[in-house]
Amino acid sequence: MQRFLRRTCRLPRAPMRALLLALACAILAPGAARAANTLRVGAKNFTEQYVLAEITAEYLRTKGYGIDVRAGLGSTLMRSAQQNGQLDIVWEYTGTAALVYLKIPDAVKLDAPALYEKVRQLDARNGLAWLDASRLNNTYALGVPRQVAQEWQVRTISQLFAKLRAEPHGKHVFAMDAEFANRPDGLRPLGAAYGMQFDRADIKQMDPGLVYTALHNNQVTVGLIYTTDGRVRGFNIVPLEDDRHYFPNYNATPVVRREVLDRNPALAGQLNALSAALDNDAMLDMNKQVDIDGRSVHDVAADFLRTHRLP
């Protein structure tokens, strides 16, 4: 658009036409310049990502940036869009980048700092800068109804599986999505890591969202959940500690195209300040407000920014 305007506005025209064209150039050229300087924020297609994108957009607007939010994307589509220069800023998860995009061997064996550093180094070659990882770790967990956790006095996966082994004839259903039940880094190696074998009758495959409902209604004993899903808090589900560190870390991190950071020297510090304000407790509460309480993403994001003094 800018190239068109520069070329077109220099061409001679009849007086009236020239006047109209001059007015159009005066109106459109500033808009085109603003569009060129607009930061495009991407988000995936689930609540947490919508909230993160909205918080980021509203915060950066207060810093004078033009912002265009493009939400509702699948993981691989969002990744491709950023690599192709169609998105400037996204919130990505270290585990997703390591396992899905970069396919790092033995990524599940790396602790959080090592996983982050490996992802950061490899993606630098792709022109993507991983800024400071937040304390928000949206990883897998095994969850049980609060009543079960209290009655059985379990807080770790090891304690849960010890309880299940002590009742070999009890009917305790483990709910999970079909992908986790069948993939090579899913149920079977989890059982191997904790010395637990699962019979087919013990496993209930269902849509991921239905797992929370089944736990809430005491239809299953244990379910595969995400640690920051709003239904964890809203449905009184207790995430058990992964005491043998089977699940990789999925720390949410602002990822920015390097050339965008070079053009905006203050941007890294601003996004790092936002990242430092995020943790699992804050995200659980925000996701619950949207998914359970029915509040809008905009209002939840606005409340977060009002209660967190960011530079």
pLDDT band at 171 (very low <50, low <70, confident <90, very high): confident
Helix locations, 84-207, DSSP H:
94-96, 112-124, 146-152, 157-166, 178-182, 187-194
What is residue 33's predicted lDDT score, i.e. its pLDDT?
Answer: 35
Distance CA 232, CA 143 (A): 8
Q: Is the pLDDT at 101 greater than 90, yes or no? A: yes
* Mean per-residue pLDDT of the chain: 88
C-alpha to C-alpha distance for 253 and 276, rounded to whole angstroms: 10
Share of the chain above pLDDT 70, in %: 88
pLDDT digits (tens, 9 = 90+) for 30-40: 333 334 579 99
The domains found in the chain, sorted by start residue, are 36-137+250-307 (3.40.190.10), 140-240 (3.40.190.120)
Most confident stretch, 111-120, 177-186, 196-205: 111-120
Q: What is the pLDDT of residues 260-295, one digit of tens each?
A: 999 999 999 999 999 999 999 999 999 999 999 999
Q: Write down the pLDDT at residue 108.
A: 84
| Per-residue confidence band for 238, with pLDDT thresholds at 50, 70 and 90 | very high
For the stretch 136-166, pLDDT in tens is 999 999 999 999 999 999 999 999 999 999 9
**In which band, very low, low, confident or very high, does the pLDDT at 79 lie, cut at 50, 70 and 90?**
very high
Query: What digits encode the pLDDT tens for the residues 59-71?
Result: 999 999 999 999 9
Mean pLDDT confidence for 187-214 = 92
Q: What is the pLDDT, as a whole number, of residue 20?
A: 38
Contacts within 8 Å (CB) and 24+ apart, 24-33? 28/1, 29/2, 29/5, 32/1, 32/2, 32/5, 33/2
Nearest-10 Cα torsion for 226, 229, 233, 236: -50
